Every structure is written in C-alpha cells, then in structure tokens.
Copies of this chain bind each other. A is one copy, B any other.
Amino acid sequence: MSVAELGTSLDLAATAREMGAFIEELYPICRSITGDGLRRTLRAVQERIPLELREVPTGTKVFDWTVPEEWNITDAYVRDAAGRRVIDFRRSNLHVVNYSEPVRQTLSLAELKTHLFALPDRPDWIPYRTSYYERSWGFCLSQRQLEALPEGEYEAVIESRLEPGSLTYGELLLPGETNEEVLISTHCCHPSLANDNLSGIALSTSLARALAGAKRRYGYRFLFLPGTIGSIAWLSRNEAATSRIRAGLVVACVGDAGPLHYKKSRRGNAEIDRAAVHVLQHSGAKHRVLEFSPYGYDERQYCSPGFDLPVGSLTRTPHGRFPEYHTSADDLGFVRPESLSDSLRAYLAILAVIEGNERFRNTSPKGEPQLGRRGLYRAIGGLPDPGQHSLAMLWILNLSDGSNDLLAISERSGMSFSVIEAAAARLSENGLLSPAESSTVAVESTPSGKTK
C-alpha cells in the first residue's frame, strides 16, 4: 500500500479516537525538557511504536549549548499561615514554574508576589512559565487566585531536584527504499497542555504507526524531543546524517478548532513547501500559508543557517495566536477529534505528494505521442474538452523534459497532484515516460548517531 493509498484507506475516525485517548493518558504527566515526566511520556509512545530512547548526559556540549541538569519534581505548594495549600502542584502541574529550583521559604505576601505569575486579562487561567537556563523558582496561578490572597505569611515549598542526569529523546526510523529521509519532529517537553503539544505527540505516533504499514520510497525519521535543546542535541549528534533529509515537518498544535496553517521552511520553495501549499490549496478548506520566521518550534533549529534543512511546520492555529496558548485553558476540551483527524489527513496527503513526486522524461518528445492507439485517448474526436485525465497526460508529456517534477506539473496545470500522478502512472506503463534521474538511490549505509 502506497502512502497515497494509506491516506484513503485509513480509518480516520478510529485513529482520531486513539489519538484522543492517548492525549488523555499523557495529560496529567508533568513533563519538562529533562526528567522522568518526559521519560514516561516517551515510554508511552514506545508502547505504540518501536521508538528508541536516547539519553544525552548532563554537561554534554551540543553546539553552543550544554545539556542541563535533570529536573524532577515531587511536590510543590504555597501554604498560608493556617496551613492551607493555596497554590497546589497536585491540582495542576502548571502551578510551578517549570525547572524551578527547590525552595522552602517563609515570605510575606509582597515577597511571595515577586515569584508569582498570573494573567490579568484572563483571570481564570493559569499561565505556563519556565526558567530552564537561569536558576530561579516561581508559581503560576490565576489572577483570581492571586487577588484573593490575603496579607500574611506564606510558606513556599518546591520539592524538586536539579541533578546530573540526562536529556531524553525518542527516535524511530522507518526505513525506505532509498536512503533519503523525511523528518517528522515533535516537541514533548510541555506539561499539561493538550494542544501544545500532546496533540503533536499523538499525531506523530499515529502517523508512524500508519506509515509502518506502507510502502515507503523514503525513510521516515520520527523525533520526539524536548523543544530547542532536544533538536539541537539531535542535530549535534547527527550532523552528517542531515544531508539525507529530503523534507521535514515539525508537528505541533494539531488539535484545535482553527484552520490549518503551513509555515514554510527557510528556503521558502523547498519541495516540502510546494507539496504542503499544493495540498492545502486543493483541500477546498480554509487554510493559511505563512512565510518562514525564526520564532516558533524546532524548525528554528532545523532551519538555522548552518543546516538550512527543508523543514516546515504544519499546525492548526500557530503558537501564540490562540488565547489559550500556554495556559491551563489548553486543556483536554480544547482539542477536537475532527481537528486531529483532519490534521492527520493533511499530513498523509503531503507525504503522499513527496512520495509520488517523481521527475520524468517524455520518451516521445517530438510532437505529441499518439495516445489514441494506446487506448489513452477517446476514439471519437471533436469534443470541446479533452477530459481531465487526457488533459493531465498532455500536461505531463509537454512538461516532462527532465526539469519539471510532477508537483511542478501540478502547479503549472492547476490540476491536483493525485490526478497528475495517476496520469503519469498510465503513461509510464505505456512506455511514454522514463525516470529523469535516479533520485532513488539504494540504501548504502545505516544512519549514524544511534548510540544509546
């Protein structure tokens, strides 16, 4: 089964239910860029797909960065003079500033407030805040909670540990017929935020499971990693292997009710960009294409100038553009099954284009070949329109001079890739097309950087 066939045969509704259940399972875990919450999350993925877990020790230099100490937390609260937990990590892991150092301190309300974060404009929501690379501590709470705190003494307790350990990420390569690869990367470092990015983890997992059963021209490398430091660590350990990356997508925020947004790679017209734009344009659904910018998710790293990989990002509403972003309102109810399935459908459609996007040479380039005697053209002539399938064949024959891939032919003709691809298949069967180049090189070496 090809990736294109996968897209039509997959039971999207059932898959969406699986994704929803997986998101529910992962939601309570307190994740961070290191530590056991992240590890537990990756092991839950491992129950579904044969992910390999990598551990990068604290102190490892990864380009300009150093893998930090591992953070683990068991409890945290602010207790009032009466001993009541007025802020309680057990109720929501967002209450603690992620990567807070351990603390046990008695403070006045005024002193305490220098460590509190709230959202005046969204008085019921708890914000999500981090302090990965500067030692500090803090609590997040709703504006209403904050305003309800009476004067008095408070005890702030964070039972966390910052110790040498390692950074964990997960990697899975589904090998392809060639040694070129498609990178699928998703960040796994956020605690109880459903859309950002349990939706991405769940979609990537379901995508890997589906692709495992398909015929793959390209290898598919799935990365489940903590944002920024995780992708930098992977790039640092796999620098040479990046030359195999033909295309890539960063998966995030794929479950909200907003329309799909494709953010282009730094290159702007890489094959992945053209494929994604084509699929969205032919989807009939509302969507937006965004130019590359150096803020966002791990495409920032893949598209850094020292790599400049052809990696874009397909999300629904992009980061920072929905009010629920990085707040407790990005909860289980914020993610919708129909959005998850629609996102997965789009991922599969884009990958189907990448898989099928060959470049051919018309073997009969002087004048049109006689399609009729091959049964490729209707016998009765004179009609005003050649029909879509014949027109697709004419476009392919006309443009297949070795310089245009099928996607370029789809773009110029305005026809959908699937129609063009089907017509190209018929022409190939009839000997009217030959591969223009051997871009499908046999696998020569196994990917490096697979130490554990």
Question: CB within 8 Å of B: which residues of A?
Answer: 62-65, 97-98, 117, 127-134, 136, 138, 228, 231-232, 235-236, 239, 266, 293-295, 300-301, 303-308, 319-321, 325-326, 362, 364-370, 372-373, 379-386, 391, 394-395, 397-401, 413
A-B residue pairs in contact (CB < 8 Å), sample of 18: A63-B366, A63-B367, A65-B367, A117-B380, A128-B382, A132-B372, A133-B370, A138-B380, A232-B368, A239-B366, A293-B413, A294-B368, A300-B398, A304-B398, A306-B367, A307-B366, A319-B384, A326-B384
Query: Can you tell how many copies of this chain the complex includes?
Result: 3
With A64-B369, A326-B382 known, 12 other A-B pairs at CB within 8 A are: A64-B366, A65-B370, A129-B382, A130-B381, A294-B394, A300-B368, A301-B367, A303-B398, A305-B365, A307-B367, A325-B384, A326-B383
- How many angstroms from the CA of A294 to the CA of B415 in the assembled complex? 13
When distances are taken between beta carbons in the complex, the residues of chain B under 8 Å from A64 are 364, 366-370
- Closest B-chain residue to A266, C-beta based? B398
- Closest B-chain residue to A379, C-beta based? B134
When distances are taken between beta carbons in the complex, the residues of chain B under 8 Å from A131 are 379-381
When distances are taken between beta carbons in the complex, the residues of chain B under 8 Å from A379 are 131, 133-134, 136
- How many angstroms from the CA of A362 to the CA of B305 in the assembled complex? 8
8 Å CB contact of A294 from B117, B320, B398? B398
Q: Is B368 in contact with A305, judged by CB distance below 8 angstroms?
A: no
Distance in angstroms from A188 CB to nearest chain B CB is 16
8 Å CB contact of A134 from B130, B266, B372, B382? B372
- How many angstroms from the CA of A136 to the CA of B365 in the assembled complex? 29
Top 8 nearest A-B pairs (CB, nearest first) are: A306-B365, A320-B384, A306-B366, A294-B398, A134-B379, A130-B381, A305-B401, A294-B394
- How many angstroms from the CA of A430 to the CA of B300 in the assembled complex? 20
Distance in angstroms from A137 CB to nearest chain B CB is 11
Between A127, A294, A384, the greatest number of chain B beta carbons within 10 A of the residue's beta carbon is seen for: A294
- Closest B-chain residue to A300, C-beta based? B368
Between A64, A98, A232, A320, the greatest number of chain B beta carbons within 10 A of the residue's beta carbon is seen for: A64
When distances are taken between beta carbons in the complex, the residues of chain B under 8 Å from A304 are 365-368, 397-398
Contact (A129, B380) CB under 8 Å given A367-B306, A370-B64: yes
Distance in angstroms from A196 CB to nearest chain B CB is 10
When distances are taken between beta carbons in the complex, the residues of chain B under 8 Å from A384 are 319-321, 325-326
Q: Is A395 in contact with B294, judged by CB distance below 8 angstroms?
A: yes
